[in-house]
Structure 1
């Protein structure tokens, strides 16, 4: 299982259809240029210390990110143009919702590359960009040396609630949402499940709960029995991107989330380069730009029909034993 494109559209009500959120290597070489123009400062000022209270010990151009507080300050300036105000507001919103950094107070400057032309903003597939960034953040968080996770965690948490009812907030029946409402709004104001304070005990509890899940404990199609009929591009197979981030998207590995019987999927695509060390800082996945053409190719969409049920092939468990970890926790802790 994984988060798919139709999940993003249903949960956040942001579009899947649109242009792939890719940029050329030339555009990505100096993303700070657009940030300088937006904030009305030169590169020397950008690399200086922030004047915003609480951020004096760090430079504004720190770890390749601009401070969200600076965006808000720029947006509130009376003498700003309407275009600058709109770009600052959008950068502030996107940096604090869809493309969240682990720092929680900065936004990656590449976000601004998609705000240069305000009239083109609605032409991008924001859902695929959000999902590509979350995929990358989850990959980094899986490293042994990782200490946190970035990305749109609202999407991740609400996806868990929808697909795994056993992990939902207790004693709460989520309301029914309207056709144009984000499903994530069903969980507004609800505390996270669990009250155990000790992180190690809580971690062991969730590992044990995940390992004990059965197919009956999963709500495979929470939004629509055939979600690809409403969000057709969710059957796309290929690369999704967010600026310099590229991740493979393969619905053939998650057929039960479309209401189909799970078949043994084809071998996964291989990137041009893949470095996944224990330290998340060295995590690198590179996929050639030539892969992007599949986004607009009709043949890249999986149109073949499968059997309609939520089962797996009898050989599926043997396949999983050979290709992945069947258990999350240590078996000796469950005895």
Structure 2
């Protein structure tokens, strides 16, 4: 099913061309499927992929230096995040916040903004998790839809051998 959808994806219009006409995943679809906000602040900002940035953001978010990919220093291992999350004692307000940040980052990398490996998440989202009271103010649904469109455009190219499309969203939508 996924391959059939990708074959029918048109990057020029961000639509699937099907026998019944053109259809697409909309912001409202993302909001209904994932329950994510779509009309809040944009998910944007300056991205620094240096190891110092990743390490400092990791300490601020997770309370320790993150385990990063050896190939791309700006990607944090999701298995490591899961271990940090599961080891949180949940006995103080700060440890509860750290647990929630870990869970959100894990969901970003494993479900909403996946890549081919599904084992890493990009560190560029860490600054958005730093101020705990602002996490809910971002339009996470918009960035999820943007990621879906970008990955479908990449997957629809003739020279693409692998797909890294966010499968959960596409399967539920289809």
Please give the TM-score of this superposition, normalised by the length of structure 1. 0.39
Q: How does 1:1-335 map to 2 (within 5 A)?
A: 1-24=23-46, 28-30=47-49, 32=54, 33-37=56-60, 38=62, 40-41=64-65, 46=67, 60-63=69-72, 64-78=74-88, 81-160=95-174
Greater RCO (CA < 8 Å, at least 6 residues apart): 2
Counterpart of 1:22 in 2: which secondary structure? coil
Contact 1:101 1:151 (8 Å CA) reproduced = yes
Contact 2:78 2:109 (8 Å CA) reproduced = yes
- Once residues 10 and 83 of structure 1 are traced to their aligned partners in structure 2, the CA distance between those partners, rounded to angstroms, is 26
Structure 2 portions without partners, runs of 5+: 1-22
Contact 1:8 1:14 (8 Å CA) reproduced = yes
Counterpart of 1:136 in 2: which secondary structure? helix
Structure 1 consecutive aligned stretches of length 4 or more whose deviation exceeds 6 Å: none
Q: CA deviation at 1:78?
A: 4.1
Q: Max radius of gyration: which structure?
A: 1
Structure 1 portions without partners, runs of 5+: 48-59, 161-335
Please give the TM-score of this superposition, normalised by the length of structure 2. 0.71
Counterpart of 1:86 in 2: which secondary structure? helix
- Once residues 120 and 36 of structure 1 are traced to their aligned partners in structure 2, the CA distance between those partners, rounded to angstroms, is 18
Q: CA deviation at 1:66?
A: 1.1
Counterpart of 2:87 in 1: which secondary structure? coil
Q: CA deviation at 1:65?
A: 1.3
- Once residues 120 and 109 of structure 1 are traced to their aligned partners in structure 2, the CA distance between those partners, rounded to angstroms, is 18
Q: Which structure is higher in helix share?
A: 2
- Once residues 79 and 39 of structure 1 are traced to their aligned partners in structure 2, the CA distance between those partners, rounded to angstroms, is 13
Q: CA deviation at 1:142?
A: 1.6
